[in-house]
Amino acid sequence: MGTSPDLALWRILQRESPMTFAQYMGLCLYHPDFGYYAQAPSIGRRGDFFTSPCVHSVFGAALATQILEIWTLLDQPKDFILVEAGAGEGYLALDILSYLEKKGFDFPYFIIEPFPAYQARQKEILAEKACKVSWVQDIQDLPSFTGVFLSNELFDAFPVHLVELTEEGLKEVYVTARQKKITEALSALSSPEILKRLKPYIENWPLGYRTEVCLSIEPFFKEISRRLNKGALITIDYGYSQRDYYHPERYRGTLMCYAHHRFLEDPYAAPGHTDITAHVDFSLLKGLGERLGLVNIGFTQQAPFLVGLGVENLLSEVSPGKSKDLEALKMLILPQGLGMSHWVLIQARGLPAETKLRGFSLSNRLRIL
């Protein structure tokens, strides 16, 4: 009889101990056999959490209209493609492609998906679009492209370093797994980059202040930017500007864990069975974009973005006259749904900085980043 996945993951955690929280999070989410995402957890009603593409196809339709506007502003390049990373169930790809098809457009669609189990589910859902969609397992396998790279709730799942302010200065959380128990200890920072990121904020923090720093977004973002010849990056996620993220009042950080739609306090309760996430530092993405020669075009919350794109009219276009659709729309745009927690950042190469996109016609809050 084989070893159970739980036991196997536990053994790996013990073997690697002590490790930074980022290493712990990386193993729990991304171990290729025993990590949370390797099991391709369902997203939506039957899953641990909801995301906008699972709420209604109008979300994808709205994004498709934004993509078409970008394509037009870029002078309708013939080699224009779409790339999505972390496509989850594959609904966003399906809804974007379906809407584009209805409007007579036919762009190739690449999905970067590291996990075979998710790839298999995406292939099922996208069966009718099979001839348009290609999969790569790793960003390294993606060729240079002209087009749009998009992600929804991708970066919040990138491993974060946990730090705490002590009387001896800033310390990092290290995790040890022993005899079915996980304990934390504070020790020296594992990378000078952590202090560099937090230095402007530390002096305002009370002792015991805990927060996170994500170092893994930068290399991934650089790889995407390097491949983008011309086009845009659309990032949708929950997050803050750096000033809000590291505000003295946010003294417990933004780490969140979910299992079966329940919020769990403890990231150590069920390794491999819990989604562990942290909010995205959007100022970091903006700064990285600037350093990599991208132009920051707009930043706003999901609600004004979708309304700016005419989401109400799109709703009657994609599914006319169904009353439950109105409930879905509320979920996408109201503050008690995903409307104000989620933000949209668009960065571009080959478009001027003063480009006005419809998604930002009601609000553009780039200056807060």
Ligand X SMILES: C[S@@+](CC[C@H](N)C(=O)[O-])C[C@H]1O[C@@H](n2cnc3c(N)ncnc32)[C@H](O)[C@@H]1O
Q: What phi, psi does 108 have (nearest 5°)?
A: -65, 145
> In the structure encoding, which two tokens stand for residue 172, read together?
């990092």
* Rg (alpha carbons) of the chain, rounded to whole number: 21
Site string for ligand X, 299-328 (x = CB under 6 A): ------------------------------
Round to whole Å and give the CA distance between 147 and 151.
Answer: 14
Given candidates 13, 157, 177, 280, which one binds ligand X under the rule CB under 6 A? 157
b/e for 223-238, b at 16 or more Cβ within 10 A?
ebbebbebbbbbbbbb
* Sole residue written with tokens 């999505």: 84
To ligand X, the closest distance from the beta carbon of 212 in angstroms equals 16
Given candidates 83, 96, 154, 311, which one binds ligand X under the rule CB under 6 A? 154
**What SS3 class is residue 301?**
strand
| Using rule CB under 6 A, residue 258 touches ligand X | no
Q: Which is nearer to ligand X, 165 or 224 (CB)?
A: 224
Given candidates 57, 65, 66, 152, which one binds ligand X under the rule CB under 6 A? 152
Q: Specify whether the CB–CB gap between 90 and 40 falls below 8 A.
A: no
| Using rule CB under 6 A, residue 110 touches ligand X | no
| Using rule CB under 6 A, residue 331 touches ligand X | no
Facing residues of 240 across strands?
Answer: 281
| Using rule CB under 6 A, residue 24 touches ligand X | no
| Using rule CB under 6 A, residue 338 touches ligand X | no
Q: How far is CA 69 from CA 17, 286, 350, in A?
A: 50, 22, 14
Region from 153-161, 183-191, 250-258, 355-363 binding ligand X, contact rule CB under 6 A: 153-161
| Using rule CB under 6 A, residue 53 touches ligand X | yes
Q: Report 75-94 residues binding ligand X (CB under 6 A).
A: 85-89
Q: Which is nearer to ligand X, 49 or 282 (CB)?
A: 49
The residue type of 332 is L
Given candidates 21, 59, 109, 118, which one binds ligand X under the rule CB under 6 A? 118
Round to whole Å and give the CA distance between 234 and 59.
Answer: 14
Chain contacts with ligand X (rule: CB under 6 A) = 37, 43, 51, 53-54, 85-89, 112-115, 118, 152-154, 157, 220
